[in-house]
Amino acid sequence: ILNVEQSPQSLHVQEGDSTNFTCSFPSSNFYALHWYRWETAKSPEALFVMTLNGDEKKKGRISATLNTKEGYSYLYIKGSQPEDSATYLCALPLANDMRFGAGTRLTVKP
């Protein structure tokens, strides 16, 4: 069974703080890792697809790194804003579907 773990489960930060959270996965048979952002009442939105060990991807104030040898990915948000409040999901593709972690729920207080 492929277990995808995310931590912390929830996070509260002040506007302007930088933050990061973790996605852990089995390092064997790694193929790719997807990060999604899911705002309340909206559809999950794809952020990054990461494939290579050492990958670093950036989109505005959000960036992600990947370590396939030790089985983790970090998502960083620099200078958090209230609009960053969302649940951040990571997922690993299987043969025909995606295996998701439980997500990290981020709340950014003004």
Partner 1 sequence: DTGVSQDPRHKITKRGQNVTFRCDPISEHNRLYWYRQTLGQGPEFLTYFQNEAQLEKSRLLSDRFSAERPKGSFSTLEIQRTEQGDSAMYLCASSASGTGVGNTIYFGEGSWLTVV
- CB of 42 vs partner 1, minimal distance in Å: 6
Tokens standing for residue 46: 């794809």
Binder among 21, 75, 101, 108 for partner 1 (CB under 8 A) = 101
Q: Where are the alpha helices (DSSP H) in 2-109?
A: none
- CB of 100 vs partner 1, minimal distance in Å: 3
Cβ proximity to partner 1, 6 vs 73, nearer residue: 6
Q: Is 91 exposed, middle or buried (0-12, 13-18, 19+ CB in 10 A)?
A: buried
Binding site for partner 1 (CB under 8 A): 4, 6, 9, 31-32, 34, 36, 41-44, 46, 49, 51, 89, 91, 93-103
